[in-house]
Structure 1
Amino acid sequence: MLPNLLRTLGALLLLVSVAQAQFQFFEQMFGGGGGRQEQQRASQNVPSDSSRYQSMWEGSRCDKYLCPGTLACVHFPHHCPCPHSDVEEKVELGEGSAVCVSKGGYKPGEAARKIELARKGLL
C-alpha cells in the first residue's frame, strides 16, 4: 500500500513540475505578465549616468589617441574601430576622418558606395 502511494505521489509531482515548466516557457516566450521580468526590465532602464564611462575613460592608459566611442588606443583618430562592428561599417571620408554607418545592402562596401553617391548628389 505504501509503495503504491509513494509511486502515485511521485507521478503527481512529476506531472505538476512538467506543467509548471511548460507554463513558464510559454510565459517567457510570449512576454506574459512576468512580475520578475518586469522588475528585471525596470532595473535595466535607469537614468543616464556617465560616471561609469568617465571612470573607464580615466582608467584607460593610452600614449596615442584614445577613441571616445570604444576606448581603443590607436595611432590616429580615423583608425578608431566602430563600436558595433557586426552591424556597422567604417567609411573613411578622407582628410583623416571616418564615420561608422549601418551596414547596407548585401555586399561589403555597400554603405561606402551609398555615401559616395550622396556626396556626389546622386542619391
Structure 2
Amino acid sequence: MELLTILFLFLGILGTGVRAQFGFFDQMFGGGGHQQQQQHQNVRSDSQWYQAQYENAQCDKYLCPGTLSCVHFPHHCPCAWESVEDKYEIGDGIAICGSKGGYKEGEMARKVELARKGLL
C-alpha cells in the first residue's frame, strides 16, 4: 500500500511539472491566452502617406527624398540604414548607399570603383 501511495505521489508531482512545462510553452508561443495581442497596421501600398510626409517637412535647403533629412547638398544625405549601409560619393554631387554586407572598411568603395571601370 505504501509503494502505491509513493507511486501516485510521484505521478502527481510529475504531472504538475509537465503542466508547468507546457504552460510555459503556451505562454511563450501565445497559446496561454494571457498575452495581449498587439494589433499591427500595415503601411499603405500607395505613396500618399510618404507624399504627405514629404510635403509637410520643414526644410529651407535640400530635403533628402530617402530619409527626409534636411541638408545643404544632395550628396550630404545620410543613408536610410546607417548601421548596415555605407555611403559612397560617386562625384558630381551624387552619393549612393550600399549594404555593408559584412565587408571590411572601405570595401564598398572598392567595389564601386571596380564597377565603374567595368571590372565587376
TM-score by length of 1: 0.66
Q: 5+ residue gaps in structure 1?
A: 1-12, 33-38
User: Aligned equivalents of 1:55 and 1:18: distance in 2?
Assistant: 50
Q: Does 1:100 align with 2:97?
A: yes
Match of 1:53 in 2: 50
Q: Contact (CA 8 Å) 1:82, 1:90: kept in 2 or not?
A: yes
- Structure having the larger proportion of residues in helix: 1
| Alignment deviations for residues 27-49 of structure 1 (CA, whole Å, 9 cap, x no partner) | 36xxx9xxxxxx95xx5445403
Between Structure 1 and Structure 2, whose CA radius of gyration is higher?
2
1:55-74 alignment runs, 5 A limit: 55-74=52-71
Q: Where does structure 1 differ by over 4 angstroms across 4 or more consecutive aligned residues? A: 15-18, 43-47
Counterpart in the other structure of 1:21:
24
Counterpart for residue 3 of structure 2: none
TM-score, length of structure 2 as denominator length: 0.67
Unpaired runs of 5+ residues, structure 2, are 1-15, 32-37
Task: Give CA deviations for 1:56-89 in whole Å, capped at 9, x if unaligned.
Answer: 2122111100000100000000100011111111
Aligned residues: 101
Identity of paired residues, percent?
Answer: 61
C-alpha RMSD over aligned residues: 3.1
2:110 corresponding residue in structure 1: 113
